[in-house]
A = this chain, B = another copy of it.
Amino acid sequence: MESRTARRATIRDVAERAQVSISTVSHAFSGSRPISEATRERIFRAATELGYDPNPSARSLRTGRSGIIGLILRPRFALTGTPDRAETFNRLVGSVATEMLRRKVGLIHVPDLHDPSVASVPMDGCIVAHPYGADEVLTELLRRDVPVITIEEDPERPEFTWAVRLDYTAVVSRLLDHLREQGARDIALLTGTEENAWNRRTRETYLDWSRQHDRTARTDLLSEGLDVDDAEAMIRSVLDSPERPDAVVVATSDFAALAAKVAAQRGIRVPEDLMIAALTDSEHSRAATPPITAMDLNHEGLAEQAVELMLARLAGAETPAEPLVLSPNLRLRGSTRRR
């Protein structure tokens, strides 16, 4: 049974009960000016008896700050996608939430910036994860003067330096070098279709590397949004082609695992006939037979640094000269180890 009549106690009720003015109550709670021991005591007792706690909206309206930081995850397949996408989403969201909780600041998932039917949300700043090129949500936030930090850079906004990003060039080059050392002659890239930094930078690195090593680059599109059957059909067409590559780098780890499965069905031995690597790591790559070499995107590190950068920004730090750079972790596994 709930008390349906009870109105929530306000600062006014507390003041009345403690026989002081509301400003005294306010100051007692914020500690922003000296209060006599007797008065403070009366105030806190009254507050406890009434079950008072300050209304956060009133406070924010007055102070212009909410103490809350927003989070927007851009990849559109994060929500609708396969288990691999869910795992990535969970890990990213979980990392940011963990970090926020550690630092005791409120974190809010922003439901939909563009839908006018959705109430907007009181946030002091907003973290945008994996923006697209010239990302429209980012544009909107910037227009509204919301302090933004991005996790991964907007590939078409190099001048925006409030960002934490991954250095793909070094790690993807290392991966390709590794494949070459293991004897790969013909490396194909099955790249994703999302136009974010992850796809753009890894693809660019692959193309550069191929040029530098005088190899024919071969990229095919394998959309993150494909269902398993369509993805399998696409992979099949690559593995069945007359010029089958002897190594494939697949963007998402679950499709890399799918490639391993298709290879097994066809009697193509991994890694002897075909090496497989993924540009994201998940249970799928770890649990595949053989386990698949993968690039771990270090979501935990990105989350931690992004939150720290946001707090610094809100505390008035200067605009950085460059985004903060972290490194993905390359996990070499059986799928690319011939010797």
Contacts and interface: CB of A to CB of B under 8 A. Distances in A.
A252 interface: no
A59 B60 CA distance: 11
A121 B93 contact: no
A334 to B, nearest CB: 14
Interface string A198-210: 0000000000000
Nearest to A109: B107
Interface stretch (A96-104, A149-157, A223-231): A96-104
Interface in A281-325: 283, 286-287
A101 B121 contact: no
Contacts of A54: 120
A66 interface: yes
Nearest to A103: B111
Contacts of A116: 29
Given A120-B56, A145-B3, A286-B287, A108 B107 contact: yes
Given A61-B57, A122-B56, A79 B98 contact: yes
Interface residues of A, number: 54
A119 B56 contact: yes
Interface in A150-187: none
B8 A121 contact: no
A108 B68 contact: yes
A105 interface: yes
Given A51-B143, A111-B106, A121 B68 contact: yes
Nearest to A112: B104
A66 B119 contact: yes
A308 to B, nearest CB: 16
Given A94-B86, A145-B6, A67 B119 contact: yes
Interface in A32-65: 51, 53-61
A29 B111 CA distance: 18
A91 interface: yes
Nearest to A60: B57
Nearest to A111: B104
A213 interface: no
B120 A122 contact: no
Contacts of A55: 61, 122
Contacts of A105: 111
A193 interface: no
Contacts of A77: none
A9 B264 CA distance: 61
Contacts of A287: 283, 286-287
Given A3-B145, A67-B119, A108-B109, 9 more contacts: A53-B120, A57-B60, A60-B122, A90-B95, A91-B94, A97-B109, A107-B108, A107-B111, A122-B122
11 contacts: A8-B145, A51-B144, A55-B61, A56-B120, A56-B122, A57-B58, A79-B101, A90-B90, A93-B97, A100-B111, A283-B286
| Pairs A-B, 8 closest by C-beta atoms | A90-B94, A57-B60, A67-B119, A90-B90, A57-B61, A56-B122, A108-B108, A107-B109
